[in-house]
Structures are given as C-alpha cells and as structure tokens.
Structure 1
C-alpha cells in the first residue's frame, strides 16, 4: 500500500493519542501499521459523533461505506482498511460495527443510570478495540485471551471517563451512573456545579478500583503474546493507569484540570516495562518519548 497512506494514519495516532503512539510504534511491520490503521478508523468513528464538523462522514455514512468496503472511495482510510483485512484475515468486521453502535449511544443515552449500562458502553467503545487489535498483536487468540483484551479496553475507557468528567459535562453527558452517585450521596446538582468533595473522591476511587481490576485481568495473558506485542500492550496500560495517579495529584479536580502523564513519567514507566522484556534487546528509539 502507498506509504503516504500509512503516514496519514500514523499522523492521526500521533496527534490523537501520544500514549498509544509511543506504546505501539516499536512493533515490527506490519503489526505497527495495522495498529495505526485501526486507530485512524476508530478516531474517524469517534469524531463523526463528538466533532461532526471535523469529520469527513456521518456515522451512518461510515457504516454504509464500511459494509461495502471493496467499493469505498474518497478517503485514505478505505484503502488502509482493505490492506488491513487482506493482511490479517482473522480480523472480523463485528468489533468495528459494535464500535459504531457504542458511539451512536452518545447521541441517545447521555446520562447513565446503572453500572451495567456503563460497562456495556465501555465494551462497545473500547472493549471492541481490544477485539480489533488481538488478531494483529497475537498469533493465537483463545477465548480467554480475547476476554483479557476486552478487559483492558474497558479499563482504559473507565480511565477516560474519570479524566473527562468535566469535558463531558460541557457536552451535557454524564457517564457517572446515577446509582453510583446515590450510593455516595453525590447529587445531580453537585455534578452540575462541579463539586469536588469527599463523596466525589470516594466515587472516583470506586471507578478507579474497577479500572484497575480490569487492567489486572487484561494483563494476565501477557506471557502468551509475542514479546514486542506484550511490551506494547503493557506499556500502553501503564501509561493509562498513570493518568489515574495524575487525577489524584490534581486533588481529583477533573472538572477544571486536565490529568496527563509527563514525558519524564513515561520514560520511567518505559524502563520498568522494558526490564521485563530483556529479549527485545535495544529499544533506544523509545527514549524519544515526547
């Protein structure tokens, strides 16, 4: 495939998620390019709902074109996806379609009532990404390994939800389930006012515990991955878990402060993860985490 197309996919992941980019850029080809293509398409799906003014397609148009992928034209993502499915024949269209279903939920369900609803959403928008990546990263995905990939995706989505409480409130979306808010005596008015109190902190810590539990489940199968893939997944997970530490350092003020992981922290985590993968040898290219 045209290298310029891969470069455009790479640019999307570099601009959209430095954590993902720096975690996966050390993969061997064609796994690396496949991750870039998957990220680019997921980004376009997300933008079609969250930022339609910058999206080349509506989500209905994306679904229609994706279901007729061989004929789809007009954007670099279509030849990129055709390459992806040609090179990874075990990849299934199902997770991509379920990802679109999850993003569509943002148009109809804006205030969550139950943890069950939230978990379903986390699966649809992020667990599905685990399902997309596994045929690319792993050579023999069993049901147990697929379940671990889904768990990692759900854990990462909970991190996103914690980090973006304020941003989502600005979009009139409340992913904090009402049943959780009631359990911790945190009211709808408190959420609207952006109140950070002991109840709010306890509620976020409950969600944090759920995220960390899913991370633990997701990392249980790392020894079955090819080393470069396992390293990339572990590094991405470390970067995401560190966002929770940043939230804590910010005093849990996710309404007015953006939690992020510093380049120095990323380098420290890289060294810790790399220590568990000595078989990878020289990974000096990763030292430019910025």
Structure 2
C-alpha cells in the first residue's frame, strides 16, 4: 500500500466516524468541499477519541494515563502518526492547513477535569471549561475554514464553541447529574435556590426555581451565540454554511429548551433529522435558521 493510499484510507475512516457518531455536526460538515470536509472529519475523529476516553468505563487513574498518552501522540504530529488512521489523517491535514494542533491540549485538559470531577463555582470557572472542550474545537475548525482576518475570527470561533457547550450542558442536565457531574456554577445554583439533587422522579428542586434557573442559563447561552455568529461574514461561503448549519441546529435546541425549560428533565431534547436537514439547506443558501 502506498503512502498516498494510506492517507486516503485514513481520511475515509475519519469520515466514517463522523457520519456515524456526529449526529449534529455531520449536517454542517457535508456542506464543505472535499479537502476541508476531510480535514474537519479528522479533527472530529481525534476529538471523539479524547471524549470517549473521558466518558468511558475505565478507572479514573487509567483514563488520565490514556489522556496523557493521547496528548503525547498528538504532540508528535505531523511528523509521526504511528500508523494510526485518525492521527495519519490529522497530521496530513495539518501539513496543508494552519490547524492549531496545540488546541487539543485544552480539549484534553477539559476532559481531565471531567475525570477528576471538577465543579465550577462561578461562570468564569465554567467558561474555562467550555473554552477547553468546545472553544478549542472552534479554533481547530477555523484552521480548516481559513479567514482573511484570523485575529478577529479566532475569539468569535471560540465564543461559538462556548455557546454550543452551554447548550449541551442544559440538554444533558439530568444525564450528567446521574453521572456525578454538575456543570452549572454554584453561584447560579445558590441564586435560584437549586441543588440539582436527584430523587426518584428527577430533580428534587421546586419546579418553578428549576425553570427559572434553566431559563437564565439559556439566555446566557443565547448571548454567546449572538457573539459567535459574528464569525460568519469572516468565512468563505461554504465554510460559513457549515458553521451556520452546526450552530443553527444547536441554537434551535436552545430555543426549545428556553420555551419549555423543564423539558430537559423529562427526556433528551433533540431535533428530528428532517429539521436538521432543513437548517443545513437554509445555511447553504445563506439564510438564517
């Protein structure tokens, strides 16, 4: 097998991972031209690997070892991939696009915080975490998209990542709490008189207090979308469409949560496939979802 075929096979593997595991992001990624689509799939596949370690069933000490090993492997890119298809594709992409591979360090730091059970006293603390696990992906993606004004674009990509992560936190409030994870700042919980303790039928907090807490957090996330979406005019048409599709899907999730905050306590809030496809189609023609 030649090196070229090996790289092509590596990209195909990353695209397979993205199609099968990136339920929301795949709608945006498919709007990109081939080289950018393959590069972003490589970024996603590498990020998915990090997330899978953090969310897996290994003991915490073993997870931290695996995260350190992954960090070291990423640091060896693009010079050495060890024959790993995901690292091969990512390393190849990084030789052709200004992908800031050091952003993976922040992603790994955020996953390590999950493993060690870190809680967040203030929103500034939570902002750090969101920048690590999602802002980093925004900056990595910007390396694929490109921009005529990267100094302006980078913090906007970061902000959009924060918006998406805040949406994830609200959507997964019950699931995360059942796993022992509380992301909402302790300051906010105290402000609204909530504990997020789980009982037999869900959270034990009074529904009216919980409703106001979630609505408050949703409004904060919406402001981060307002900031992050200022990135779109700084991107080329297809990259803007990809970003708008991914952000549009998550923003519609947030809108549903804000309209019915307690929905997240009853079931996982999601969009049907046809609605996601509609959002992506509108993004491709430059229209807001």
The TM-score, its normalising length taken from structure 1, stands at: 0.87
Give matches, 1:127-146, under 5 Å: 127-146=135-154
2:203 pairs with 1:198: no
Q: 1:178 aligns with which of 169, 179, 186?
A: 186
> CA separation in 1, counterparts of 2:138 and 2:261?
31
Give matches, 1:65-80, under 5 Å: 65-69=73-77, 70-80=79-89
- Once the 2 structures are TM-superposed, how far is the Cα of residue 188 of structure 1 from its aligned partner? 4.7
> CA separation in 2, counterparts of 1:14 and 1:75?
19
Task: Show structure 2 runs of 5+ residues with no match.
Answer: none
Task: Show structure 1 runs of 5+ residues with no match.
Answer: 278-290
Question: SS of the counterpart of 2:242?
Answer: helix
The TM-score, its normalising length taken from structure 2, stands at: 0.87
Number of positions where the alignment pairs a residue of Structure 1 with one of Structure 2: 274
After superposing on structure 2, the runs of 4+ consecutive aligned residues of structure 1 that deviate more than 3 Å are 188-193, 245-251
Please, which moves more after superposition, 152-161 or 181-190?
Answer: 181-190
> Residues 195-214 of structure 1, C-alpha deviation per residue, up to 9 Å, x if partnerless?
46111111111111111111
> CA separation in 1, counterparts of 2:53 and 2:198?
30
Give matches, 1:267-278, under 5 Å: 267-276=277-286
- Is contact 2:45–2:86 with CA below 8 Å preserved after alignment? yes
- Once the 2 structures are TM-superposed, how far is the Cα of residue 74 of structure 1 from its aligned partner? 4.8
> CA separation in 1, counterparts of 2:245 and 2:187?
33
- Is contact 2:147–2:153 with CA below 8 Å preserved after alignment? no
> Residues 15-44 of structure 1, C-alpha deviation per residue, up to 9 Å, x if partnerless?
222211011112112111011000000000
Please, which moves more after superposition, 180-189 or 242-251?
Answer: 242-251
- Is contact 2:71–2:108 with CA below 8 Å preserved after alignment? yes
Structure 1 vs Structure 2 CA RMSD = 2.2
Q: Look up the match of 2:22.
A: 17
> CA separation in 2, counterparts of 1:189 and 1:98?
29
2:104 pairs with 1:96: yes
